[in-house]
Amino acid sequence: MTTTKPPPVHEVRAGRIRASIWSNPSEKGVWHSVTLSRLYKDGDDWKDSSSFGKDDLLLLAKVIDKAHSWIIEQAAQELDPAG
pLDDT in tens, 11-36: 999 999 999 999 999 998 899 999 99
pLDDT of 79 higher than 80:
no
Q: What pLDDT, on a 0 to 100 scale, did the predictor assign at position 83?
A: 60
Q: Is the dihedral of CA 55, 58, 62, 68 positive or negative?
A: positive
- CA distance linking residue 35 with residue 28, whole number of Å: 22
pLDDT tens digits along 57-74: 999 999 999 999 999 999
| Nearest of 61, 62, 74, 76 to residue 21 by alpha carbon | 74
pTM: 0.86
pLDDT for residue 2:
67
Taking the C-alpha atoms of residue 7 and residue 21, their distance in angstroms, rounded to an integer, is: 9
- Round to whole Å and give the CA distance between 22 and 17: 17
Q: Where are the domains of the chain?
A: 10-79
Distance CA 59, CA 36 (A): 11
What is the predicted pLDDT for the residue at 69? 98
